[in-house]
Protein backbone atom coordinates (compact mmCIF):
# COMPACT_ATOMS: atom_id res chain seq x y z
CA UNK A 1 0.00 0.00 0.00
CA UNK A 2 2.85 2.35 0.81
CA UNK A 3 4.51 1.65 -2.56
CA UNK A 4 1.23 2.25 -4.40
CA UNK A 5 0.74 5.61 -2.66
CA UNK A 6 4.28 6.74 -3.50
CA UNK A 7 3.87 5.58 -7.08
CA UNK A 8 0.60 7.48 -7.46
CA UNK A 9 2.19 10.64 -6.11
CA UNK A 10 5.06 10.39 -8.55
CA UNK A 11 2.68 9.77 -11.42
CA UNK A 12 0.56 12.83 -10.65
CA UNK A 13 3.56 15.10 -10.25
CA UNK A 14 5.26 13.91 -13.43
CA UNK A 15 4.81 16.52 -16.20
CA UNK A 16 2.80 15.62 -19.25
CA UNK A 17 4.76 15.66 -22.52
CA UNK A 18 2.01 17.60 -24.31
CA UNK A 19 1.96 20.25 -21.59
CA UNK A 20 5.73 20.65 -21.65
CA UNK A 21 5.69 20.93 -25.44
CA UNK A 22 2.98 23.67 -25.28
CA UNK A 23 4.83 25.69 -22.66
CA UNK A 24 8.05 25.46 -24.70
CA UNK A 25 6.20 26.75 -27.76
CA UNK A 26 4.79 29.70 -25.79
CA UNK A 27 8.23 30.52 -24.41
CA UNK A 28 9.83 30.47 -27.88
CA UNK A 29 6.99 32.68 -29.18
CA UNK A 30 7.51 35.15 -26.31
CA UNK A 31 11.25 35.38 -27.05
CA UNK A 32 10.79 35.75 -30.81
CA UNK A 33 9.98 39.04 -32.54
CA UNK A 34 7.90 37.45 -35.29
CA UNK A 35 4.29 38.64 -35.38
CA UNK A 36 1.43 36.31 -36.17
CA UNK A 37 0.91 32.61 -35.46
CA UNK A 38 4.00 30.60 -34.56
CA UNK A 39 5.39 28.36 -37.33
CA UNK A 40 6.13 24.71 -37.00
CA UNK A 41 9.83 25.52 -36.79
CA UNK A 42 9.18 27.52 -33.59
CA UNK A 43 8.62 24.35 -31.59
CA UNK A 44 11.39 22.79 -29.51
CA UNK A 45 13.72 20.58 -31.51
CA UNK A 46 17.23 19.38 -31.29
CA UNK A 47 18.26 21.52 -34.26
CA UNK A 48 18.53 25.24 -33.37
CA UNK A 49 16.04 27.08 -35.55
CA UNK A 50 16.92 30.67 -36.44
CA UNK A 51 13.89 32.92 -36.01
CA UNK A 52 13.15 35.32 -38.81
CA UNK A 53 13.24 38.92 -37.56
CA UNK A 54 11.21 41.43 -39.55
CA UNK A 55 12.17 45.09 -39.33
CA UNK A 56 9.29 47.33 -38.30
CA UNK A 57 8.21 49.86 -40.85
CA UNK A 58 8.95 53.47 -40.01
CA UNK A 59 5.86 55.49 -39.07
CA UNK A 60 5.13 58.68 -40.97
CA UNK A 61 6.47 61.81 -39.31
CA UNK A 62 3.69 64.29 -40.23
CA UNK A 63 0.92 62.80 -38.08
CA UNK A 64 3.33 62.60 -35.15
CA UNK A 65 4.32 66.25 -35.57
CA UNK A 66 0.64 67.26 -35.76
CA UNK A 67 -0.14 65.26 -32.64
CA UNK A 68 2.73 66.88 -30.76
CA UNK A 69 1.53 70.36 -31.85
CA UNK A 70 -1.98 69.58 -30.59
CA UNK A 71 -0.58 68.38 -27.26
CA UNK A 72 1.48 71.56 -26.92
CA UNK A 73 -1.55 73.74 -27.70
CA UNK A 74 -3.72 71.87 -25.19
CA UNK A 75 -0.97 72.23 -22.57
CA UNK A 76 -0.79 75.97 -23.21
CA UNK A 77 -4.58 76.30 -22.86
CA UNK A 78 -4.48 74.39 -19.58
CA UNK A 79 -1.68 76.65 -18.33
CA UNK A 80 -3.64 79.77 -19.26
CA UNK A 81 -6.76 78.47 -17.50
CA UNK A 82 -4.75 77.62 -14.39
CA UNK A 83 -3.14 81.07 -14.34
CA UNK A 84 -6.55 82.76 -14.72
CA UNK A 85 -7.98 80.65 -11.90
CA UNK A 86 -5.04 81.50 -9.62
CA UNK A 87 -5.32 85.22 -10.39
CA UNK A 88 -9.07 85.14 -9.69
CA UNK A 89 -8.52 83.36 -6.39
CA UNK A 90 -5.87 85.90 -5.36
CA UNK A 91 -8.19 88.81 -6.23
CA UNK A 92 -11.01 87.26 -4.19
CA UNK A 93 -8.67 86.82 -1.22
CA UNK A 94 -7.53 90.45 -1.47
CA UNK A 95 -11.16 91.63 -1.60
CA UNK A 96 -12.01 89.59 1.49
CA UNK A 97 -9.03 91.06 3.35
CA UNK A 98 -10.01 94.63 2.40
CA UNK A 99 -13.62 94.02 3.42
CA UNK A 100 -12.50 92.72 6.80
CA UNK A 101 -10.22 95.73 7.31
CA UNK A 102 -13.09 98.19 6.75
CA UNK A 103 -14.58 99.50 10.02
CA UNK A 104 -18.10 98.55 10.94
CA UNK A 105 -20.42 101.47 10.14
CA UNK A 106 -24.09 101.48 11.03
CA UNK A 107 -25.87 103.30 8.21
CA UNK A 108 -29.04 103.91 10.20
CA UNK A 109 -27.30 105.84 12.99
CA UNK A 110 -24.66 107.80 11.03
CA UNK A 111 -26.87 110.76 10.19
CA UNK A 112 -27.58 113.47 12.75
CA UNK A 113 -30.60 113.00 14.96
CA UNK A 114 -33.11 115.89 14.98
CA UNK A 115 -31.11 117.59 12.17
CA UNK A 116 -28.09 118.48 14.31
CA UNK A 117 -25.46 120.64 12.57
CA UNK A 118 -21.80 119.68 13.16
CA UNK A 119 -19.74 122.48 14.74
CA UNK A 120 -17.39 124.37 12.42
CA UNK A 121 -15.52 126.48 15.01
CA UNK A 122 -14.77 123.94 17.72
CA UNK A 123 -12.10 124.89 20.24
CA UNK A 124 -10.38 121.50 20.24
CA UNK A 125 -9.42 119.58 17.14
CA UNK A 126 -10.92 116.05 17.30
CA UNK A 127 -7.64 114.66 15.92
CA UNK A 128 -5.69 115.90 18.96
CA UNK A 129 -8.16 114.54 21.53
CA UNK A 130 -7.77 113.37 24.23
CA UNK A 131 -5.43 115.96 25.70
CA UNK A 132 -2.24 114.77 27.39
CA UNK A 133 -2.98 115.87 30.95
CA UNK A 134 -0.66 115.70 33.95
CA UNK A 135 -1.40 113.75 37.09
CA UNK A 136 -2.45 116.86 39.04
CA UNK A 137 -6.18 117.02 38.29
CA UNK A 138 -7.07 119.22 41.26
CA UNK A 139 -6.21 122.52 39.56
CA UNK A 140 -7.58 121.47 36.16
CA UNK A 141 -10.75 123.11 34.89
CA UNK A 142 -13.90 121.17 34.14
CA UNK A 143 -13.36 121.57 30.39
CA UNK A 144 -9.79 120.27 30.55
CA UNK A 145 -10.91 117.45 32.86
CA UNK A 146 -13.44 116.13 30.35
CA UNK A 147 -11.16 116.69 27.33
CA UNK A 148 -8.32 114.67 28.87
CA UNK A 149 -7.84 110.94 29.25
CA UNK A 150 -8.16 109.80 32.87
CA UNK A 151 -7.79 106.08 33.43
CA UNK A 152 -10.50 104.63 35.64
CA UNK A 153 -12.81 107.64 35.32
CA UNK A 154 -15.56 105.57 33.72
CA UNK A 155 -15.92 103.53 36.90
CA UNK A 156 -16.46 106.66 39.02
CA UNK A 157 -19.65 108.65 39.51
CA UNK A 158 -20.11 111.08 36.57
CA UNK A 159 -19.55 114.77 37.13
CA UNK A 160 -22.74 116.73 37.87
CA UNK A 161 -23.02 120.14 36.20
CA UNK A 162 -25.20 122.46 38.24
CA UNK A 163 -28.14 123.89 36.26
CA UNK A 164 -28.39 127.68 36.40
CA UNK A 165 -31.80 128.50 34.93
CA UNK A 166 -33.51 125.14 35.49
CA UNK A 167 -35.02 125.27 31.98
CA UNK A 168 -35.94 121.70 30.97
CA UNK A 169 -34.21 120.55 27.79
CA UNK A 170 -34.91 116.80 27.54
CA UNK A 171 -35.96 113.73 29.48
CA UNK A 172 -34.60 110.27 28.72
CA UNK A 173 -36.51 107.14 29.76
CA UNK A 174 -34.80 103.73 29.84
CA UNK A 175 -36.55 100.36 30.03
CA UNK A 176 -35.14 96.84 30.35
CA UNK A 177 -35.90 93.40 31.79
CA UNK A 178 -32.28 93.08 32.97
CA UNK A 179 -31.42 95.31 35.90
CA UNK A 180 -27.62 95.04 35.55
CA UNK A 181 -27.66 96.03 31.88
CA UNK A 182 -30.00 98.92 32.63
CA UNK A 183 -27.81 100.33 35.42
CA UNK A 184 -24.65 99.94 33.32
CA UNK A 185 -26.14 101.77 30.33
CA UNK A 186 -27.60 104.54 32.52
CA UNK A 187 -24.09 105.05 33.95
CA UNK A 188 -22.71 105.27 30.39
CA UNK A 189 -25.38 107.81 29.36
CA UNK A 190 -24.63 109.97 32.40
CA UNK A 191 -20.91 110.03 31.57
CA UNK A 192 -21.69 111.02 27.96
CA UNK A 193 -23.86 113.92 29.14
CA UNK A 194 -21.19 115.05 31.60
CA UNK A 195 -18.53 115.03 28.86
CA UNK A 196 -20.77 117.24 26.68
CA UNK A 197 -21.36 119.67 29.54
CA UNK A 198 -25.09 118.99 29.88
CA UNK A 199 -26.53 119.55 33.36
CA UNK A 200 -28.42 116.35 34.18
CA UNK A 201 -29.98 114.80 37.24
CA UNK A 202 -29.01 111.61 38.94
CA UNK A 203 -30.42 108.37 37.57
CA UNK A 204 -33.97 108.19 38.91
CA UNK A 205 -35.30 104.72 39.76
CA UNK A 206 -38.92 104.48 38.67
CA UNK A 207 -41.33 101.83 39.99
CA UNK A 208 -40.79 98.37 38.53
CA UNK A 209 -43.67 97.09 36.44
CA UNK A 210 -44.57 93.51 37.28
CA UNK A 211 -46.68 91.29 35.01
CA UNK A 212 -47.99 87.90 36.12
CA UNK A 213 -49.68 85.17 34.05
CA UNK A 214 -51.27 82.05 35.52
CA UNK A 215 -51.84 79.22 33.05
CA UNK A 216 -52.77 75.53 33.42
CA UNK A 217 -49.77 73.24 33.32
CA UNK A 218 -51.64 70.37 31.66
CA UNK A 219 -52.13 70.62 27.89
CA UNK A 220 -55.67 69.21 28.16
CA UNK A 221 -58.88 70.95 29.13
CA UNK A 222 -59.03 69.21 32.51
CA UNK A 223 -56.24 71.00 34.32
CA UNK A 224 -54.44 69.27 37.17
CA UNK A 225 -52.09 72.07 38.25
CA UNK A 226 -51.18 75.66 37.43
CA UNK A 227 -47.94 77.56 36.93
CA UNK A 228 -47.11 81.27 37.08
CA UNK A 229 -45.02 83.32 34.63
CA UNK A 230 -43.65 86.65 35.84
CA UNK A 231 -42.03 89.49 33.91
CA UNK A 232 -40.45 92.53 35.51
CA UNK A 233 -39.76 95.73 33.59
CA UNK A 234 -37.21 97.98 35.30
CA UNK A 235 -37.35 101.71 34.56
CA UNK A 236 -34.89 104.58 34.83
CA UNK A 237 -35.16 108.29 33.96
CA UNK A 238 -32.65 111.11 33.43
CA UNK A 239 -33.55 114.81 33.12
CA UNK A 240 -31.46 117.47 31.37
CA UNK A 241 -31.62 121.26 31.80
CA UNK A 242 -30.12 124.42 30.28
CA UNK A 243 -28.63 122.73 27.21
CA UNK A 244 -28.43 123.95 23.64
CA UNK A 245 -30.62 121.97 21.20
CA UNK A 246 -27.59 121.06 19.07
CA UNK A 247 -25.75 119.70 22.11
CA UNK A 248 -28.81 117.65 23.09
CA UNK A 249 -29.01 116.31 19.54
CA UNK A 250 -25.36 115.24 19.72
CA UNK A 251 -25.99 113.53 23.03
CA UNK A 252 -28.93 111.58 21.63
CA UNK A 253 -26.98 110.73 18.48
CA UNK A 254 -24.06 109.36 20.49
CA UNK A 255 -26.12 107.18 22.84
CA UNK A 256 -28.21 105.97 19.92
CA UNK A 257 -25.10 105.00 17.95
CA UNK A 258 -23.75 103.11 20.99
CA UNK A 259 -27.04 101.58 22.05
CA UNK A 260 -27.04 98.42 24.15
CA UNK A 261 -29.03 95.34 23.29
CA UNK A 262 -31.84 94.62 25.71
CA UNK A 263 -32.27 98.28 26.76
CA UNK A 264 -35.02 100.44 25.28
CA UNK A 265 -34.92 104.25 25.10
CA UNK A 266 -37.53 106.98 24.76
CA UNK A 267 -36.50 110.64 24.49
CA UNK A 268 -38.64 113.71 25.18
CA UNK A 269 -37.37 117.12 24.01
CA UNK A 270 -38.54 120.68 24.56
CA UNK A 271 -38.15 123.21 21.75
CA UNK A 272 -38.13 126.96 22.36
CA UNK A 273 -40.10 129.12 19.93
CA UNK A 274 -39.88 132.91 19.49
CA UNK A 275 -42.73 135.28 20.27
CA UNK A 276 -45.32 135.63 17.53
CA UNK A 277 -44.96 132.07 16.33
CA UNK A 278 -48.77 131.68 16.33
CA UNK A 279 -49.32 134.53 13.88
CA UNK A 280 -46.56 133.19 11.64
CA UNK A 281 -48.15 129.74 11.54
CA UNK A 282 -51.58 131.25 10.84
CA UNK A 283 -50.22 133.19 7.88
CA UNK A 284 -48.57 130.05 6.49
CA UNK A 285 -51.84 128.15 6.83
CA UNK A 286 -53.77 130.87 5.00
CA UNK A 287 -51.28 130.79 2.14
CA UNK A 288 -51.59 127.01 1.94
CA UNK A 289 -55.42 127.24 1.87
CA UNK A 290 -55.48 129.36 -1.32
CA UNK A 291 -57.85 127.51 -3.64
CA UNK A 292 -56.94 126.83 -7.29
CA UNK A 293 -60.22 128.52 -8.31
CA UNK A 294 -59.02 131.90 -7.08
CA UNK A 295 -55.70 131.44 -8.87
CA UNK A 296 -57.51 130.54 -12.11
CA UNK A 297 -59.75 133.62 -11.81
CA UNK A 298 -56.73 135.83 -11.28
CA UNK A 299 -55.00 134.35 -14.33
CA UNK A 300 -58.15 134.80 -16.43
CA UNK A 301 -58.43 138.49 -15.48
CA UNK A 302 -54.80 138.97 -16.46
CA UNK A 303 -55.37 137.36 -19.87
CA UNK A 304 -58.47 139.55 -20.48
CA UNK A 305 -56.52 142.71 -19.72
CA UNK A 306 -53.69 141.74 -22.09
CA UNK A 307 -56.12 140.91 -24.92
CA UNK A 308 -57.98 144.20 -24.38
CA UNK A 309 -54.73 146.13 -24.75
CA UNK A 310 -53.90 144.30 -27.99
CA UNK A 311 -57.37 144.94 -29.47
CA UNK A 312 -57.26 148.64 -28.64
CA UNK A 313 -53.90 148.99 -30.38
CA UNK A 314 -55.28 147.63 -33.71
CA UNK A 315 -56.87 150.37 -35.98
CA UNK A 316 -60.49 149.72 -37.05
CA UNK A 317 -61.06 149.01 -40.79
CA UNK A 318 -63.65 151.07 -42.78
CA UNK A 319 -66.54 149.14 -44.25
CA UNK A 320 -66.99 149.51 -48.03
pLDDT > 60? residue 118: no
Determine, yes or no, domain membership for 170: yes
Q: 199: burial class by Cβ within 10 Å (0-12, 13-18, 19+)?
A: buried
Task: Name the residue with higher pLDDT: 105 or 271.
Answer: 271
**Other residues' Cβ atoms within 10 Å of the Cβ of residue 241:** 19
Predicted confidence at residue 255, as pLDDT, reads 95
Predicted confidence at residue 172, as pLDDT, reads 97
Predicted confidence at residue 252, as pLDDT, reads 95
Determine, yes or no, domain membership for 78: no
Q: How many residues does the chain have?
A: 320
Comparing 48-62, 169-183, 189-203, 204-218, the range with the smallest average pLDDT is 48-62
Q: DSSP assignment, residue 276?
A: T
Euclidean distance between CA atoms 15 and 13, whole angstroms:
6
The percent of residues in the chain predicted with pLDDT above 70, rounded, is 63
Task: Name the residue with higher pLDDT: 72 or 284.
Answer: 284
The arithmetic mean of pLDDT across residues 200-215, rounded, is: 94
In sequence order, the 6+-apart residues with CB closer than 8 A to the CB of 182 are 174, 175, 176, 234, 236, 263
pLDDT tens sequence across 22-79: 566 566 555 655 555 545 554 444 444 455 555 555 555 555 555 666 766 777 888 8
Chain mean pLDDT for the chain: 76
Task: Name the residue with higher pLDDT: 315 or 47.
Answer: 315
pLDDT > 90? residue 132: no
Task: Name the residue with higher pLDDT: 56 or 143.
Answer: 143
The arithmetic mean of pLDDT across residues 119-138, rounded, is: 66
The arithmetic mean of pLDDT across residues 276-283, rounded, is: 90
Comparing 144-148, 209-213, 263-267, the range with the smallest average pLDDT is 144-148
Q: How many domains does one find in the chain?
A: 1
Which neighbouring-strand residues pair with 263? 176
Determine, yes or no, domain membership for 320: no
pLDDT > 90? residue 189: yes
Instruction: Provide the sign of the torsion angle of the four alpha carbons 121, 122, 127, 132, taken in this order.
Output: positive
Give φ, ψ of 37 to 5 degrees. -75, 145
pLDDT tens sequence across 98-109: 655 555 444 444
The arithmetic mean of pLDDT across residues 306-314, rounded, is: 82
Predicted confidence at residue 55, as pLDDT, reads 55
Which neighbouring-strand residues pair with 279? none
Determine, yes or no, domain membership for 50: no
Euclidean distance between CA atoms 21 and 43, whole angstroms:
8
Contact between 270 and 171 (Cβ < 8 Å): no
pLDDT band at 192 (very low <50, low <70, confident <90, very high): very high
pLDDT > 90? residue 309: no
Range of the structural domain that residue 186 is part of? 163-269
Determine, yes or no, domain membership for 174: yes
Predicted confidence at residue 50, as pLDDT, reads 53
Q: DSSP assignment, residue 195?
A: H
**Other residues' Cβ atoms within 10 Å of the Cβ of residue 184:** 14
Comparing 148-157, 179-188, 266-275, the range with the smallest average pLDDT is 148-157
Determine, yes or no, domain membership for 72: no
pLDDT > 80? residue 231: yes
Q: What CATH number should be reported for the domain holding residue 250?
A: 3.30.70.600
Determine, yes or no, domain membership for 196: yes
Predicted confidence at residue 166, as pLDDT, reads 93
Predicted confidence at residue 128, as pLDDT, reads 75
Task: Name the residue with higher pLDDT: 259 or 296.
Answer: 259
Determine, yes or no, domain membership for 307: no
Amino acid sequence: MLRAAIRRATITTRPCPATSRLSAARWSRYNSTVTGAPSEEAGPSKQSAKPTVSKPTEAPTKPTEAATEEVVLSDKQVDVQLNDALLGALQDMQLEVTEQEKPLVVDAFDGPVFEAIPPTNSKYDPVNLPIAQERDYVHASEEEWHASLVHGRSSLIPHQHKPIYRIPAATLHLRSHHQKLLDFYAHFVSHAAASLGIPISRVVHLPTQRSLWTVPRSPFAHKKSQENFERRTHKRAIKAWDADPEVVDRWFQYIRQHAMGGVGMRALRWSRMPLGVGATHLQQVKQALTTPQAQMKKLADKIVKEEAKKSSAVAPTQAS
